[in-house]
């Protein structure tokens, strides 16, 4: 039997902040709105986060051409090393990706690896933009952690 793995976007980023602080930035709505799904133009973002396994999140990025809603459900929460959640943008596709965040402590700060698995069709259409988007968001996370 052949097991086919879905295509993925993978990004690794180092942060000068402790692993706990980086992990918490994903689940604390007050921090998340400062960087998660925020556009480079910095439009307002609102977030509702139920940070528990089985809990859901909804993050709305308010853009000039209308709001974009990002939703998902938490599958694994192992503070401060692992976070797994589904992810979708319903106005563009009914499909849900699977995102895994792994955080490893370093002597100074931590290293975060994000893996976004998606269907081949979604990857073909959105893979490159997803890579860019997560990269921009992780840059925003670094800035938010410095504040």
Q: How many domains does the chain have?
A: 1
Q: What is the pLDDT of residues 70-126, one digit of tens each?
A: 999 999 999 999 999 999 999 999 999 999 999 999 999 999 999 999 999 999 999
How many angstroms separate the Cα of 100 from the Cα of each of 91, 107, 113, 142, 146?
23, 23, 8, 18, 24
* pLDDT score, position 55: 98
The pLDDT of 51-62, averaged and rounded, is 97
Task: State the residue for tokens 């709305």.
Answer: 60
Is 2 domain-assigned?
no
Indicate whether 82 belongs to any domain: yes
Specify if 26 maps to a domain.
yes
CATH code where residue 68 lies: 3.30.530.20
Q: Identify the band that residue 4 occupies on the pLDDT scale cut at 50, 70 and 90.
A: low
- Say what the pTM is: 0.94
Stretch among 13-22, 35-44, 55-64 having the lowest mean pLDDT: 35-44
Domain residue limits at 13: 8-146
Per-residue pLDDT, 1: 53
Task: Give the C-alpha separation, 145 to 106, whole Å.
Answer: 16
Q: Say if residues 33 and 45 touch (Cβ distance below 8 Å).
A: yes
Please report whether residue 3 resides in a domain: no
């Amino acid at each position: 039997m052949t097991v086919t793995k879905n295509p993925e976007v993978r990004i690794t980023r180092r942060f000068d902040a402790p692993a706990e602080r980086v992990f918490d930035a994903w689940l604390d709505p007050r921090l998340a709105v400062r960087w998660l799904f925020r556009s480079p133009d910095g439009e307002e973002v609102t977030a509702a986060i139920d940070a528990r396994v089985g809990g859901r999140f909804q993050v709305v990025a308010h853009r000039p051409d209308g709001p974009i809603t990002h939703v998902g459900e938490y599958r694994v929460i192992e503070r401060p090393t692992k976070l797994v959640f589904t992810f979708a943008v319903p106005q563009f596709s009914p499909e849900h990706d699977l995102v895994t965040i792994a955080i490893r402590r370093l002597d100074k700060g931590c290293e975060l690896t994000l893996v976004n698995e998606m269907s081949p069709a979604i990857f073909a259409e959105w893979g490159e933009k997803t890579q860019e988007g997560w990269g921009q968001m992780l840059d925003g996370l670094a800035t938010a952690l410095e504040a």
